[in-house]
Protein backbone atom coordinates (compact mmCIF):
# COMPACT_ATOMS: atom_id res chain seq x y z
CA UNK A 1 0.00 0.00 0.00
CA UNK A 2 2.86 2.34 0.80
CA UNK A 3 4.29 1.85 -2.72
CA UNK A 4 0.92 2.72 -4.23
CA UNK A 5 0.69 5.92 -2.17
CA UNK A 6 4.26 6.87 -3.13
CA UNK A 7 3.51 6.27 -6.83
CA UNK A 8 0.35 8.34 -6.42
CA UNK A 9 2.39 11.22 -4.98
CA UNK A 10 4.99 11.00 -7.76
CA UNK A 11 2.32 11.09 -10.48
CA UNK A 12 0.53 13.98 -8.74
CA UNK A 13 3.75 16.01 -8.49
CA UNK A 14 4.57 15.31 -12.14
CA UNK A 15 1.11 16.45 -13.31
CA UNK A 16 1.16 19.49 -10.99
CA UNK A 17 4.58 20.60 -12.25
CA UNK A 18 3.55 20.05 -15.86
CA UNK A 19 0.32 21.99 -15.32
CA UNK A 20 2.14 24.85 -13.60
CA UNK A 21 3.66 25.78 -16.97
CA UNK A 22 0.24 27.03 -18.13
CA UNK A 23 -1.13 28.13 -14.77
CA UNK A 24 -1.56 31.76 -15.82
CA UNK A 25 -2.72 30.90 -19.31
CA UNK A 26 -6.01 29.82 -20.86
CA UNK A 27 -5.27 26.15 -20.17
CA UNK A 28 -6.05 26.53 -16.47
CA UNK A 29 -9.31 28.31 -17.33
CA UNK A 30 -10.20 25.30 -19.49
CA UNK A 31 -9.61 22.88 -16.61
CA UNK A 32 -11.60 25.07 -14.22
CA UNK A 33 -14.51 25.04 -16.67
CA UNK A 34 -14.29 21.28 -17.21
CA UNK A 35 -14.20 20.71 -13.46
CA UNK A 36 -17.26 22.96 -13.03
CA UNK A 37 -19.21 20.78 -15.48
CA UNK A 38 -18.77 17.96 -12.96
CA UNK A 39 -20.46 19.90 -10.13
CA UNK A 40 -23.80 18.15 -10.72
CA UNK A 41 -26.10 20.77 -12.21
CA UNK A 42 -25.49 19.53 -15.73
CA UNK A 43 -26.63 16.01 -14.83
CA UNK A 44 -30.05 17.11 -13.65
CA UNK A 45 -30.56 19.42 -16.63
CA UNK A 46 -29.54 16.68 -19.09
CA UNK A 47 -31.78 14.12 -17.39
CA UNK A 48 -34.75 16.50 -17.37
CA UNK A 49 -34.29 17.42 -21.04
CA UNK A 50 -34.09 13.77 -22.06
CA UNK A 51 -37.06 12.88 -19.82
CA UNK A 52 -39.28 15.38 -21.62
CA UNK A 53 -37.93 15.21 -25.16
CA UNK A 54 -36.79 11.61 -25.77
CA UNK A 55 -39.84 9.36 -25.81
CA UNK A 56 -37.71 6.27 -26.49
CA UNK A 57 -35.09 6.36 -23.71
CA UNK A 58 -35.58 9.61 -21.80
CA UNK A 59 -37.63 8.43 -18.84
CA UNK A 60 -35.59 5.25 -18.36
CA UNK A 61 -32.36 7.26 -18.65
CA UNK A 62 -33.65 9.68 -15.99
CA UNK A 63 -34.75 6.95 -13.57
CA UNK A 64 -31.56 4.95 -14.07
CA UNK A 65 -29.43 8.01 -13.35
CA UNK A 66 -31.58 8.88 -10.34
CA UNK A 67 -31.18 5.38 -8.92
CA UNK A 68 -27.45 5.36 -9.63
CA UNK A 69 -26.86 8.71 -7.92
CA UNK A 70 -29.07 7.78 -4.96
CA UNK A 71 -26.83 4.73 -4.42
CA UNK A 72 -23.49 6.32 -5.30
CA UNK A 73 -23.71 9.48 -3.20
CA UNK A 74 -24.16 7.73 0.18
CA UNK A 75 -21.31 5.32 -0.66
CA UNK A 76 -19.14 8.28 -1.70
CA UNK A 77 -19.82 9.95 1.67
CA UNK A 78 -19.09 6.75 3.61
CA UNK A 79 -15.80 6.25 1.74
CA UNK A 80 -14.74 9.89 2.24
CA UNK A 81 -15.22 9.57 5.99
CA UNK A 82 -13.76 6.06 6.19
CA UNK A 83 -10.51 6.92 4.36
CA UNK A 84 -10.21 10.52 5.61
CA UNK A 85 -7.43 11.08 3.12
CA UNK A 86 -6.13 14.59 3.31
CA UNK A 87 -6.07 16.70 0.18
CA UNK A 88 -2.87 17.62 -1.70
CA UNK A 89 -3.02 21.14 -0.25
CA UNK A 90 -2.64 19.71 3.27
CA UNK A 91 -0.05 17.05 2.47
CA UNK A 92 2.21 18.85 0.02
CA UNK A 93 3.12 22.33 1.13
CA UNK A 94 4.87 23.19 -2.13
CA UNK A 95 1.59 22.92 -4.08
CA UNK A 96 -1.42 25.17 -3.61
CA UNK A 97 -4.87 24.24 -4.86
CA UNK A 98 -6.00 26.23 -7.88
CA UNK A 99 -9.64 26.05 -6.74
CA UNK A 100 -11.33 25.61 -3.38
CA UNK A 101 -12.14 21.93 -2.71
CA UNK A 102 -15.83 21.13 -2.34
CA UNK A 103 -15.32 19.18 0.89
CA UNK A 104 -12.67 18.22 3.45
CA UNK A 105 -11.38 14.84 2.29
CA UNK A 106 -9.80 13.67 -0.94
CA UNK A 107 -10.60 9.98 -1.51
CA UNK A 108 -12.61 9.28 -3.66
CA UNK A 109 -13.12 12.10 -6.14
CA UNK A 110 -16.84 12.82 -6.17
CA UNK A 111 -16.64 14.87 -9.35
CA UNK A 112 -14.98 11.96 -11.13
CA UNK A 113 -17.43 9.41 -9.71
CA UNK A 114 -20.40 11.47 -10.87
CA UNK A 115 -18.90 12.13 -14.31
CA UNK A 116 -18.13 8.47 -14.99
CA UNK A 117 -21.52 7.43 -13.65
CA UNK A 118 -23.17 9.79 -16.13
CA UNK A 119 -20.85 8.80 -18.98
CA UNK A 120 -21.63 5.12 -18.42
CA UNK A 121 -25.37 5.71 -18.46
CA UNK A 122 -25.08 7.90 -21.55
CA UNK A 123 -23.01 5.20 -23.26
CA UNK A 124 -25.64 2.58 -22.41
CA UNK A 125 -28.66 4.51 -23.69
CA UNK A 126 -26.93 6.51 -26.46
CA UNK A 127 -23.99 4.36 -27.69
CA UNK A 128 -22.99 6.83 -30.40
CA UNK A 129 -22.14 9.30 -27.63
CA UNK A 130 -19.88 6.87 -25.74
CA UNK A 131 -16.55 8.32 -26.85
CA UNK A 132 -17.41 11.98 -26.16
CA UNK A 133 -19.06 11.06 -22.83
CA UNK A 134 -16.05 9.08 -21.58
CA UNK A 135 -13.62 11.69 -22.95
CA UNK A 136 -15.48 14.37 -21.02
CA UNK A 137 -15.55 12.23 -17.84
CA UNK A 138 -11.81 11.59 -18.18
CA UNK A 139 -11.19 15.33 -18.52
CA UNK A 140 -13.25 15.98 -15.39
CA UNK A 141 -11.05 13.51 -13.51
CA UNK A 142 -7.85 14.97 -14.94
CA UNK A 143 -9.02 18.49 -14.10
CA UNK A 144 -9.31 17.54 -10.43
CA UNK A 145 -5.62 16.58 -10.37
CA UNK A 146 -4.48 19.52 -12.51
CA UNK A 147 -6.37 21.90 -10.20
CA UNK A 148 -4.58 20.18 -7.29
CA UNK A 149 -7.61 19.16 -5.25
CA UNK A 150 -7.17 15.39 -5.76
CA UNK A 151 -4.48 12.79 -6.15
CA UNK A 152 -4.60 10.44 -9.16
CA UNK A 153 -5.66 7.50 -6.96
CA UNK A 154 -8.69 9.52 -5.78
CA UNK A 155 -9.68 9.93 -9.41
CA UNK A 156 -9.25 6.24 -10.27
CA UNK A 157 -11.30 5.13 -7.29
CA UNK A 158 -13.94 7.74 -8.14
CA UNK A 159 -14.02 6.42 -11.69
CA UNK A 160 -14.55 2.86 -10.45
CA UNK A 161 -17.24 3.98 -8.03
CA UNK A 162 -19.17 5.86 -10.70
CA UNK A 163 -18.98 3.10 -13.30
CA UNK A 164 -19.93 0.43 -10.74
CA UNK A 165 -23.08 2.18 -9.56
CA UNK A 166 -24.07 3.08 -13.12
CA UNK A 167 -23.76 -0.56 -14.19
CA UNK A 168 -25.67 -1.71 -11.11
CA UNK A 169 -28.51 0.69 -11.85
CA UNK A 170 -28.54 -0.27 -15.52
CA UNK A 171 -28.78 -3.95 -14.54
CA UNK A 172 -31.74 -3.15 -12.25
CA UNK A 173 -33.69 -0.78 -14.51
CA UNK A 174 -32.10 -0.74 -17.94
The CATH code of the domain that includes 10 is 1.20.144.10
Give the Cα separation of 31 and 172 in Å (integer). 34
Q: For position 25, what pLDDT does the model report?
A: 67
| DSSP string for residues in 77-133 | HHHHHHH-PPPHHHH-TT---SS--SSS--SS-HHHHHHHHHHHHHHHH-GGGHHHH
Contacts of 147 (CB under 8 A, 6+ apart): 28, 31, 32, 35, 97, 98, 99
Residues 9-57 have pLDDT tens digits of 889 888 888 887 766 666 688 888 999 999 888 898 999 999 999 999 9
- Helix, strand, coil fractions of the chain, as percent rounded to 5: 75, 0, 25
Confidence of residue 145 (pLDDT cuts 50, 70, 90): very high
The answer to whether the Cα torsion of 39, 113, 79, 14 is positive or negative is: negative
Q: What is the pLDDT of residue 23?
A: 64
The burial class, CB within 10 Å (0-12 / 13-18 / 19+), for 121 is: buried
Q: How many domains does the chain have?
A: 1
Tens digits of per-residue pLDDT, 88-97? Answer: 888 777 777 7
Are the C-beta atoms of residues 150 and 99 closer than 8 Å to each other? no
pLDDT tens by residue, 148-170? 999 999 999 999 999 999 999 99
Whole-number pLDDT of residue 98: 77
- Cβ atoms of 96 and 148 closer than 8 Å: yes
Q: In which domain, by residue range, is 49 found?
A: 2-173
Q: Decide if 54 contacts 126 (C-beta within 8 A).
A: no
Largest CA distance in the chain: 52
Amino acid sequence: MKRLINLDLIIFEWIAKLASSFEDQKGMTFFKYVSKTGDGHLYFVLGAILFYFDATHGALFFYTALLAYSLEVPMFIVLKHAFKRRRPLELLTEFNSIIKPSDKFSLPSGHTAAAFLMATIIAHFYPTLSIPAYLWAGLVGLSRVVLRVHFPLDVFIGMGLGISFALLSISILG
